[in-house]
Amino acid sequence: MAKLVALSLGWGVQSFTLAAMDALRACECEVCQRWSLRDFPRLDAAIHADTTWEREATYTFAWAMSPWLRERNVALYTVSDAKQAARVVEQSDPPFFTLAPQGTGSPSAPAEPGNSNVFMPAYSLDESGRRLTARKRKGQLKRQCTGRWKIDPIRRMLRAMMRERKIKRVRGAVEQWLGISMDELERSKDSDVQYIYHRYPLLELGMSRADCKTWLRAHNLPIPPKSRCKFCPYQDRNSWRRQRAMGGQDWAVAVQVDAAIRDKRPPHPLFVHRGRLPLEQAVEIIPLVALPPEESDDEDFSEGAACDSGYCFM
Ligand code: SF4
């Protein structure tokens, strides 16, 4: 039996639903008769790995809903990749967020001057301007961002909690909940370390993303925006168009990061847009009202591993 139960909280629809279900596990309403966590252990922690590059809407949502969760005894923690090898942020009120300036505290920031590391799955061209097709990557860098910015910081936090509680790092010592829903079944996968056991409560309850929204609405809770980095290369055309139409910091930072990674892997130029063009050329200007709702956006996790078991876009 696991000694520590922790949720990876991305502040998207699925993971927020799990946090809220943990908060309201005593509820006996009609919807909770169908979907409830009453047969699951109580969470010891809900841990958000803050890339520092989340969209503004996600930070706003997290700030708004953190007190609601904490008032209902959900222990929230936010961790971040940082120069201090194990930056583990204690529970604080309000919870810690690395909001601004963008990328501070993140040595693996995608566009730091002098940092040639590009951890996001950026697209590239060969010397003659063609897509790179060698190494089966089809002109796209290997995705390392999820591991560096999300999985590693969460694991550092889990190990710190285990040390504090004198929990031995034995097989299955940690039960880690991930917010994968029925419509994303293929994204679930086992943990690659023995001491962590991945659990998918939404799959066990047979809940889809739409069911999560039904549950949230039934409890008068807001629906979170999709959670992802401002410059995530996995976005589809309409998602980019919407980001451009909305403008503000999300678009400005994406354009900035796109330009900053261009020459990080000479001689191959890098881009955040799959069209392999500078972002402002690649994304058409379409009025927001002419675009379909955000919910219909598609993310491309064609590498097969998704963003590692629900850490991104959840
Ligand atoms: S949202 Fe995209 S860029 Fe951000 S960590 Fe996940 S895959 Fe990487």
Pocket test residue of 226, 307, 311 for ligand 1, highest count of atoms within 8 A of CB = 307
pLDDT at 265: 83
pLDDT at 88: 31
Going by the DSSP 8-state scheme, the letter that residue 311 receives in this structure is S
pLDDT at 128: 60
Going by the DSSP 8-state scheme, the letter that residue 3 receives in this structure is S
| Atom nearest to 312 CA in ligand 1 | 6
Point out the residues of the chain with pLDDT beneath 50.
Answer: 83-115, 134, 136-137, 302-310, 313-314
| Atom nearest to 53 CA in ligand 1 | 4
pLDDT at 105: 35
> What b/e string do you get for 288-299 counting C-beta neighbours within 10 Å, with b at 16 or more?
eeebeeeeebeb
Task: Find the 131 Cα to ligand 1 centroid distance in Å.
Answer: 22
Which tokens hold the place of 25?
Answer: 């596990």
Task: Find the 234 Cα to ligand 1 centroid distance in Å.
Answer: 8
pLDDT in tens, 118-166: 888 899 986 565 655 545 446 888 888 888 888 988 998 999 999 999 9
Pocket test residue of 141, 227, 232 for ligand 1, highest count of atoms within 8 A of CB = 232
Please state the domain extents for the chain: 4-293
pLDDT at 168: 95
pLDDT at 113: 35
Instruction: Write the residue with the smallest CA distance to atom 8 of ligand 1.
Output: 145
Q: Which of 276, 74, 102 is nearest to 177 (CA)?
A: 74
Going by the DSSP 8-state scheme, the letter that residue 294 receives in this structure is G
pLDDT at 126: 67
Sign of the CA dihedral 33, 39, 42, 46?
A: negative
Which tokens hold the place of 212?
Answer: 């999560």
Pocket test residue of 81, 149, 270, 302 for ligand 1, highest count of atoms within 8 A of CB = 149
pLDDT at 139: 85
pLDDT in tens, 25-36: 999 999 999 999
Which tokens hold the place of 109?
Answer: 């920031």
- Three-class secondary structure of residue 143 per DSSP: coil
pLDDT at 312: 59
